[in-house]
């Protein structure tokens, strides 16, 4: 039996946040057992902030097991902290390193 797929979704553009979240929703709804991690850096962190335009969908996806991570390098460069994001959003030291490591672990890479 094939293990469920794992997908790292790259978000680095504010304008693509709605698309990324819709794609993530489709993955979760249509691909049984999929594990998804949305990895954000640069302008991609902005729409994930608390109270952002996609807050309801993000919360729904997090409730379904989607992991959201933001880049600590980006946060430092923008004077942001974990407190600027919903409690389910985690940080990683470097988003680019996170994406490379996930791919080395066999995760699929998606950049809408």
56-85 tens-digit pLDDT: 999 999 999 999 999 999 999 999 999 999
* Whole-structure pTM value: 0.96
Residues 6+ apart with CB under 8 A from 37: 6, 7, 8, 9, 66, 67, 68, 69, 98, 102, 107
> What is the architecture of the domain spanning 6-110?
3-Layer(aba) Sandwich (3.40)
The pLDDT value given to residue 97 = 98
Q: What is the mean pLDDT of residues 23-45?
A: 97
pLDDT reading at 43 higher than 80: yes
The pLDDT value given to residue 3 = 83
CB neighbours (10 Å) of residue 37? 20
């Amino acid at each position: 039996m094939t293990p469920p797929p794992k997908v790292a979704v790259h978000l680095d553009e504010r304008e693509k946040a709605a698309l990324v979240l819709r794609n993530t929703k489709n993955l979760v709804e249509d691909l049984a057992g999929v594990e998804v991690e949305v990895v954000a850096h640069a302008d991609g962190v902005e729409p994930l902030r608390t109270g952002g335009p996609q807050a309801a969908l993000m919360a729904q996806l997090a409730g379904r097991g989607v992991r959201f991570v933001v880049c600590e390098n980006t946060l430092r460069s923008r004077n942001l902290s974990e407190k600027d994001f919903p409690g389910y959003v985690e940080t990683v030291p470097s988003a680019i390193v996170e994406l490379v490591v996930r791919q080395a672990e066999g995760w699929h890479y998606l950049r809408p």
